[in-house]
Amino acid sequence: MNKIVEEPKEMDARHLIEEDEIDLVEVMKNIWKNRKTIVQTTVGCLILGLFIAFTTPKEFEVEVTMLPESQDGGLKLGGLGGLASLAGVNLGGMGTAEGGSIPPELYPKVLESIPLQVKLLETPVYYSEVGDKVDGFTYFEEYAPMSAIGHLFGYTVGLPGKVLNATRKDDVEDGTENKDGLIRLSREQINVIKGFKNRLSASVDQKSGVISLTAKMPEAEASAIMAQMALDYLTDYVKAYKTQKAKQNLEFIQGRYDDQKANFEKAQNALAEYRDRNQNIVTSLARTEGERLQNEYDIAFEVYKGLATQLEQAKIKLKEETPVFKIIEPVRVPIDKASPKKGLILIVSVFLGGILGVGIIFIKNVLKNIKEQW
């Protein structure tokens, strides 16, 4: 009984396996039979890949890595604090920063800011293709190489936009900043900036805290210059933001110190002149005048001394809050181009060609089966 029940199941299973094997064999036979289609699509994709690889403009890339500023108050002035205490300067709780700092996660936003983009594009850089120094706006509008696909896209899909931009009139003349401090850009400059933003990037390793800044340009020297300028701008921006409060405090104390120094020197000179005039005169009026001048001198000296102490504290505070950046990998002029990677393009082209050929074979087979059923 059991054998009678189980035997059909085993036969069905074997039958299904045989059908699957037959289907797989048939699929392989069908692919082999239509191998000409695969060869054709592979050759076609390979030709397209060669076209892309040899018509895409060269790009050179520079990467800079650095450690960000200390998040716990900048420099630790332990030894300097001890020396300051011996000089009568009380640093108190100056080891902790009161001002906030920019999180490294926001550094990419700083690199995308319009002031930096404008500064980079206004800087003249030597391009061997041009044979002279030109600013970025001029280079990317008139001289920058474009791939064949870019030209095709520009004069097909992008043609209406070109026509529309040509018919528009800009009220803003070329020039980025007017006397009122407002940035005004022409339409052409805005278009250049939109494309240029992709050439600067930054990333932050959350585990190590290392910041990587990358600059990409059509020429090696230009990429290194842009990377250095972006690095300087970023570090200066972060330092200015972190030390803004300390700088304002220092400037205020410096102004009060200069005024009080002048008052102290005036009181000092008045007292000295009085003593020179009244060396042998002993009268109550002269003694009273001398005491008055001495009191003015003492008050001026105490205020002057206090401000001098505060001024030293403010200078140390500013030094302490200034962020420190440690450059791990400095800017280096690249030797090899970053793109196009011709070998990779060709490998991907061959792979996609093979996949496309197999897909066409399967589609033809499905359509054939549908047609036979109808």
Q: Which residue intervals of 60-186 are DSSP H helices?
A: 78-86, 107-111, 114-122, 136-138, 148-154, 159-167
Q: What is each CA distance from 62 to 4, 66, 205, 221, 337, in whole angstroms?
A: 76, 13, 18, 10, 10
pLDDT score for 158: 52
**Could you say which residues of the chain have pLDDT below 50?**
1-5, 9, 16-20, 22, 71, 73-99, 151, 159, 172
pLDDT score for 52: 84
Of the candidates 336, 357, 342, 104, the residue with the CA atom closest to the CA atom of residue 213: 104
One-letter amino acid of 255: G
pLDDT score for 3: 46
Instruction: List pLDDT tens digits, range 275-319.
Output: 888 877 677 787 888 889 889 999 999 999 999 999 999 999 998
Q: Identify the residue whose tokens are 């950046």.
A: 325
pLDDT score for 254: 93
Q: What is each CA distance from 150 to 46, 56, 118, 127, 198, in whole angstroms?
A: 19, 9, 24, 21, 16
What is the DSSP code (8-state) at residue 186?
Answer: -
pLDDT score for 100: 63
Total count of residues recorded for the chain: 374
Give dist(CA 76, CA 153) in Å, integer: 56
pLDDT score for 63: 93
Tokens for 192, please give them: 């250049």
Concatenated DSSP letters of 107-139: HHHHHT-HHHHHHHHHS-EEETTTTEEE-HHHI
| Residue 209: half-sphere exposure toward Cβ, Cα within 13 Å | 9
Contacts of 89 (CB under 8 A, 6+ apart): 309, 312, 313, 316
pLDDT score for 324: 83
pTM of the model: 0.65
Contacts of 200 (CB under 8 A, 6+ apart): 111, 112, 116, 120, 213, 214, 215, 216, 226, 230
Contact call for residues 172 and 186 (beta carbons, < 8 A): yes
Gyration radius from the chain CA atoms: 38
pLDDT score for 56: 84
